Amino acid sequence: MSQHSGGEAAARVTLRHLRERVAEGGRFACLTAYDATFASLIENAGVEVVLVGDSLGMVIQGHDTTVPVTVEQMIYHSACVARGCRRALLMVDMPFLSYASPQQAVANAGRLMQEGGAQMVKLEGAAAQVEIVAALSAQGIPVCAHLGLRPQSVHKAGGFRVQGRDEAAARQMVEDARLLEQAGADMLLLECIPAPLAETITRGAGVPVIGIGAGPAPHAQVLVLYDLLGITAGRQPRFVKNYLAGGGPIQEAVARFVEEVKSGRYPGPEHAFR
């Protein structure tokens, strides 16, 4: 059986490191993982934030959306990933309806941290989640606020669609990002929004911003691991790049993603929405 993190223990990536990196104009890479083996492989390839995404509902469980994913399932996968992840910062999604009130959010985030080993939680938010973010922050729980396309709201949004395309929606998203940061969000994640809007939000942010389908401006990029490996079934969104297309070892494909994110070569104009 393979070792998850052989050799000398490297220092753990912390929020402070990431803030310093961003302040110096640097970038970092984030990738999803759902098990210990891939967690270890991707952090050894240079990924600094490992996300246990509720995308596991789709890519692991085979659902059409992330809505059926439960807190118990997130804890299970997070604990698996935590055993393989020794250096990267471990961020874990709060699933649908696990943060409907401040009390419920604190209780469930506490479980993700204590039982699942999370170091940071991510929730899908807008102005309506300001109180939730403030309650988590007051308890010392690091929070990433996920704006733009929020897959847990897919039924209300009427599908997986690019968000913030009209002026009013774009203005609202800029304001939501400001309010969530003011409430204590330590990071923002922007999914599927026009590149110019992501640039406006990133420029105004005082915390690291991760993008997916949000153009080149955010300080970091995230992809679903199975998309990066080109093994997700069906038509892929335009921001996805298959890093295994040319063949070779998986670890080298992930290392190419990390290098392209850090050098600003990914995402290219062909991956962005306007």
Residue 32 touching ligand KIV (CB under 6 A):
yes
Structure token pair of residue 57: 């509902």
Single residue of 224, 228, 240, 261 touching ligand KIV by CB under 6 A: 224
Cα 107 to Cα 98, 101, 112, 145: the distances in Å are 9, 10, 9, 18
Catalytic residue among 175, 191, 252, 260, which? 191
Q: Of 184, 169, 70, 74, give the one whose Cα is nearest residue 129.
A: 184
Q: How far is the CB of 146 from ligand KIV (least distance, A)?
A: 6
Structure tokens at 106: 């604190």
Q: Which of residues 129-158 bind ligand KIV (CB under 6 A)?
A: none
**Residue 49 CB, nearest distance to ligand KIV (Å)?**
11
Out of 46, 53, 125, 142, which residue is the one contacting ligand KIV (CB under 6 A)?
53
Indicate the residue among 23 and 231 with the shorter CB distance to ligand KIV. 231
Q: Which one, 148 or 194, has the nearer CB to ligand KIV?
A: 148
Determine if 188 is a binding residue for ligand KIV (CB under 6 A).
no
As measured in angstroms, the least distance from the Cβ of 222 to ligand KIV is 5
Q: Select the span of 6-14, 53-61, 100-108, 261-269 touching ligand KIV (CB under 6 A).
A: 53-61
Binding part of the chain for ligand KIV, among 49-57, 156-164, 195-203, 242-250 by CB under 6 A, reads: 49-57
C-alpha triplet 194, 198, 204: angle, nearest 5°: 150
Residue 72 annotated to the active site = no
Q: Which amino acid is at 85?
A: C
Alpha helices (H) along the chain? 15-23, 36-44, 56-59, 71-84, 102-114, 130-138, 154-157, 167-183, 195-204, 225-228, 250-263
CA dihedral over 253, 259, 263, 264, signed as positive or negative: positive
Residues labelled as active-site residues:
191
